[in-house]
Amino acid sequence: MKLYLTDLSPNCRRVLAAVHQLGLDSETEIRNFNLFAGEHQSDEFRAINPNVKVPVVVDGDFTLWEANPIMIYLADREGAETFCPSDNAPRIEILRWMSWEVQHFNRALGEIVWETVAKQAFGLGPADAEKIKTGQENFRRFAAVLEAHLADRDFVLGDAPTVADFAVGSHSALALHPQSQVPLLEFPKVLAWLQRMEALPSWAKTAPQAPAEAAE
C-alpha cells in the first residue's frame, strides 16, 4: 500500500496517525512530497489524483483521496471496530462529526491559525486582525458545541478515540501553538481533549517538529 503525504498538512497528519493506530506501518510505503518544491505537480501524480492534492492512498488497484474517507477505508480494511464502528448508529455519528469539522469547527480554527501561525512561519505577511476576530467568533460558536458534547466523555464517541477524534482534532498542533490566539482557555474540556489527543502514541508519532510546520 502506498500513501502520498506532505509534512505540512493536518489532513495528512490524521491519515498518517490512523496508519500508526491501525498498525499498518510496516506495509505502508510513504511518499512524502515537498509541496513548496512542486513535487506533487507531475503527470504521474495527477493521474493518481486529478486534484493534485494529498493525502492519497493506493492499495493495489484501488485509489482513494480525501483524508476522512481514507481513514474510514483503512479502519474497515483492518476490521477495526473500536476505531471505526461499522454499526449504523455510531457510523452515522462519525460521519456527522466529520462533516461538522470540515464545515464548521476546523474551518473556523483554520481562519485563526492561518493568520497567527502559518503566515508568519512562511513569510506571507502580517496577520489580518479582522480575520482573526472573525475566526475567533466562529470558533467560539462551534467550540461551545464540542465543549457541551465532551461534558461526560473523554473522546467524541465515548471513552476511546475513533476516526471522529482524528478528524475533529486534526489541527491540534496548530490550536495549541502559543501564537495561535485560539481561545481554548474559554473551553477547558476542548482543551483537555486536544491534550489527550496529543498524548496518544499514534498521534504523538506524527507531531510536527515545530507546531508552526503543521500549516497546510
Query: For residue range 104-137, what is the model confidence (pLDDT) as tens digits?
Result: 999 999 999 999 998 888 788 999 999 999 999 9
Q: Report the amino acid identity of residue 59.
A: D
Mean pLDDT, range 63-83, rounded to an integer: 98
Res 208: pLDDT:
82
Q: What would the pLDDT profile of 160-173 be if each residue is shown by its tens digit? A: 999 999 999 999 99
pLDDT exceeds cutoff 60 at 19:
yes
In contact, 71 and 163? CB cutoff 8 Å: yes
Instruction: List the single range of 12-21, 49-58, 205-214 with lowest mean pLDDT.
Output: 205-214
**This prediction's pTM:** 0.93
As a CATH number, domain 2-78 is 3.40.30.10
pLDDT exceeds cutoff 90 at 37:
no
Taking the C-alpha atoms of residue 142 and residue 145, their distance in angstroms, rounded to an integer, is 5
As a CATH number, domain 88-200 is 1.20.1050.10
Res 28: pLDDT:
97
Res 144: pLDDT:
98
What are the structural domain ranges in the chain? 2-78, 88-200
Mean pLDDT, range 183-203, rounded to an integer: 97
